[in-house]
Structure 1
Amino acid sequence: MLITPSVIFLLLFTLYPIARVFWMSLHQISVTQPWLGTPFVGLDNYKEVFQDTRFWHSTWFTLAFALITVVFEIVIGLFLAIIANKTFPFRGLVRAAILFPWVLPTVTNALTWRWMFNSDYGLFNGMLMEFGWIDKPINWLGDSNLAFVAVCTVAIWKTSSFMAIIILGGLQSIPNDIYEAANIDGANRLQSFFLLTLPLLRNVIMVALVLRTMHALQAFDLMFGLTQGGPGNTTESLPMYIHNIAFIDMEWGYGSALGVILFILIFAISAIYVKFLYDPD
């Protein structure tokens, strides 16, 4: 009786939407052609997905984006957390500064960085030309490779602080006695870091990796605000492609199939993390 409200909440707002999307993925549903009804097509939508070159490109882009950003974010976040865990004047102010990029809305971040990357009046081109490092402005968001670098840079700048806050909580839970004992035994700082700090942070890092990877695989607002998926859909993430199919082209059946595949992809990667990183002891 006590858990009934929670169970009802999960059924209505979690399990039912998932089941509904899966049901829709087995039907042809076109909002622009309502006279066609919702005929059952079985796995035809999924067959079409795997023959869709735009799907494969958006998937590979999403995976590459998640891999690169998560690796850099965990390294930078660990570095920032170690600094924030030290005792020094104005430590609270430094911690607030570390958290600042994360609390800003992603769209606000994207638009701000878009102005800085602007080829005509952007900050980066202005600085590079002022120092004489370039002769003419660089079209940062008009080149597919540079646009990818720009998207990853903004994501790393924003989310490294999120990693830092999670890891900082783990660092503060480690007793200082352990380091004192290691110091007495002759361990230097580098040995203490690799033999004590990292193993004790294993579960914390796993949680940070799972949360951030799930967030990176669902990235939409950053690409939408920074590049609009361009140039030529080269920075279009899989969630952005799903949005375009479902809410621009109004193909709900095919869009649902894409959503189911994204759900399976995120679930599989999260399961791999838990399998190899989670330590119940």
Structure 2
Amino acid sequence: MAKRSNLTRARLRAAWIFLAPMLIVLVLVAGWPLGRTIWFGFTDASLSNMSVYHFIGLDNYLVKSGGAYYGVLVDPVWWHAVWNTVRFSLISVSFETVLGLIVALVLNARFFGRAVVRAAILIPWAIPTIVSAKMWGWMLHDQFGIINDMLSHLGLISHPIAWTANPDTAMWAVIMVDVWKTTPFMALLILAGLQMLPSDCYEAARVDGVHPVKVFFRVTLPLVWPAVMVAVIFRMLDALRIFDLIYVLTSNSEGTMSMSVYARQQLVDFQDVGIGSAASTLLFLIIAALTIVFIFAGRVKVSD
């Protein structure tokens, strides 16, 4: 027992030694900027002069002055950005999960040319987001976009639609582009989970004559559920901090403004590092809280 305990301690020491360089780099690359951002959220720093600033406590978050409240927490634009981000994340990730599961099931089946289809399905995800956004921006253009042209020839619309400029369609246009781009990512993660499923369960179900639909809900879905939840958590993390796609397609429009776009507007357009850092800190806390909720709600074991 003593030898085993000494061996375990030796392995733990070796593990920490090998992990130390990565942890140091992670602290320098991620921890230091995050700490600076949180600190600036308690100051009146301005982008025009970052060397001169004063500690003002929680004033950037909430302060009462002259009988009125000011700060990020009472800014209606901020809360509208929060709602836009949450709505975008829930809708897009839901569509991507369902479509990704369907694509993964298809790619997991045996058919001629499966390797080529698996490679081709990853093309939308492989294209950089900025390139995808610009490409779809041209396609959705109300004057010379191919989407309006196709819908007009099919008789589905009588006049061109400004998809990204119209408040009624802008968010749905952004969601559509995001679903097109990141569904392959979800399919890839779920497919990895499907590849690890034991074949004996399916052989037993086939021998017993169980209907394929019942096999999916009783066998496949429960077994692949951990992989699905991991994919959902990864995509939710990415969706909650969405910036580039929304900013390229709709710029600073309040109808589609996300929390990241709001923080960028405060930091760059208004030169207010304090407010922008406070918004970024709130974004970090919201993402961390929702991630914990999804881990517990989805019954995901982090250790596995």
**TM-score, length-normalised on structure 2?**
0.87
Q: Which residue of 2 aligns with 1:50?
A: 73
Tell me how far apart the structure 2 counterparts of residues 148 and 195 of structure 1 sit (CA, whole Å): 36
Distance 1:11 1:132 in 2: 57
Q: Is the 1:202–1:278 Cα contact (8 Å) retained in structure 2? A: no
Instruction: Check conservation: 1:28, 1:38, Cα contact below 8 A.
Output: yes
Shift of residue 33, structure 1, vs aligned partner:
5.5
In structure 2, the CA distance between the partners of 1:88 and 1:30, relative to structure 1 (3 Å rule), is same
Q: Identify which of structures 1 and 2 has the higher relative contact order when contacts are C-alpha pairs closer than 8 Å and 6+ apart.
A: 1
Q: Deviations over 1:217-236 (max 9, x none)?
A: 11111012212133xx2111
The alignment of Structure 1 onto Structure 2 pairs a total of residues equal to 278
Bigger mean CA deviation after superposition, 122-131 or 171-180: 122-131
Poorly superposed stretches of 4+, deviation over 4 Å? none
> Is 1:27 matched up with 2:43?
yes
Give the superposition deviation at 1:181.
Answer: 1.2
1:110-121 aligned at under 5 Å gives the runs 110-121=133-144
> What SS does structure 2 have at the residue aligned with 1:119?
coil
The 2-side partners of 1:191 and 1:266 are apart by 36
For 1:10 and 1:53, locate their aligned partners in 2 and report how far apart those are by CA, in whole Å: 35
- Taking the aligned partners of 1:137 and 1:31, their CA distance within structure 2 comes to 41
Give the alignment partner of residue 11 of structure 1, picking from 24, 27, 50: 27
Whole-Å separation in 2 of the counterparts to 1:126 and 1:193: 40
For 1:150-199, what per-residue CA distance to the aligned partner results, in whole angstroms no more than 9, with x for missing partners? 00000001111100000000001112111111222342111111111111
The structural deviation recorded for 1:16 is 2.2
User: For 1:260, which of 262, 265, 281 is the aligned residue?
Assistant: 281
Give per-residue Cα distances to partners, 1:66-87, cap 9 Å, x unaligned.
0000000000000000001111
Which has the higher Rg, Structure 1 or Structure 2? 2
Are 1:143 and 2:166 matched, yes or no?
yes
Alignment correspondent of 2:178? 155
Aligned-pair identity in percent equals: 39
Cα distance in 1, alignment partners of residues 182 and 296 from structure 2:
24
Unpaired runs of 5+ in structure 2? 1-16, 63-70
The match for 1:220 is 243
Between the aligned partners of 2:60 and 2:283, the Cα distance in structure 1 is 14
Between the aligned partners of 1:86 and 1:202, the Cα distance in structure 2 is 18
CA RMSD of aligned residues (A): 1.6
Q: 1:244 aligns with which of 246, 251, 265?
A: 265
Structure 2 SS opposite 1:201: helix
